[in-house]
Amino acid sequence: MEDFQIIDNYLMVRLPEEVDHHRAAYICENADRYILQENVAHVVFDFADTRFMDSSGIGIIMGRYRKIACFGGRVYAIHVDRQIQRMFALAGLNKIVEVLA
């Protein structure tokens, strides 16, 4: 299951096994609620459990980036496998997301 956790001013989002359109709205809505209510500056997406992702995952990240970037917030991605890194590259996401191994 996906998991939302606040650590200092970071929101940690543990993404589900399958990140697709079916799950995207749930993730976006919850992340946005935490960003608004908890004064979160930065967002970390954890792909440790993720075995599948399509362009919906790119949309989730781009959307959250737009919400926090204007306040100097940063977006990080951790435990990103090679397939997902390929999608990041195709979408030009590496310009806005810091990918940590």
Partner 1 sequence: MNSQMVKNEMEISFDAISRNESFARVAVAAFVSHLNPTLEEIADVKTAVSEAVTNAIIHGYENLYGYGRHGEQPSSACPVHPGKVRLKCILEGDVLHIEVEDEGKGIDNLEQAMEPLFTTRPELDRSGMGFAFMEAFMDDLEVDSEPGRGTVVRMIKKMGSSAWIDSEE
Applying CB under 8 A, which residues contact partner 1? 18, 20-26, 28-29, 52-56, 58-60, 62-63, 82-83, 86-87, 90-91
CB of 16 to partner 1, least distance (A): 9
What is the DSSP-derived secondary structure letter of residue 52? E
Query: Residue 2: which of 14, 11, 12, 10 has the closest Cα?
Result: 14
Q: Which is nearer to partner 1, 7 or 22 (CB)?
A: 22
CB of 8 to partner 1, least distance (A): 26
CB of 56 to partner 1, least distance (A): 7
Whole-Å CA distances, 2 to 13, 48, 50, 68, 72: 7, 11, 10, 21, 26
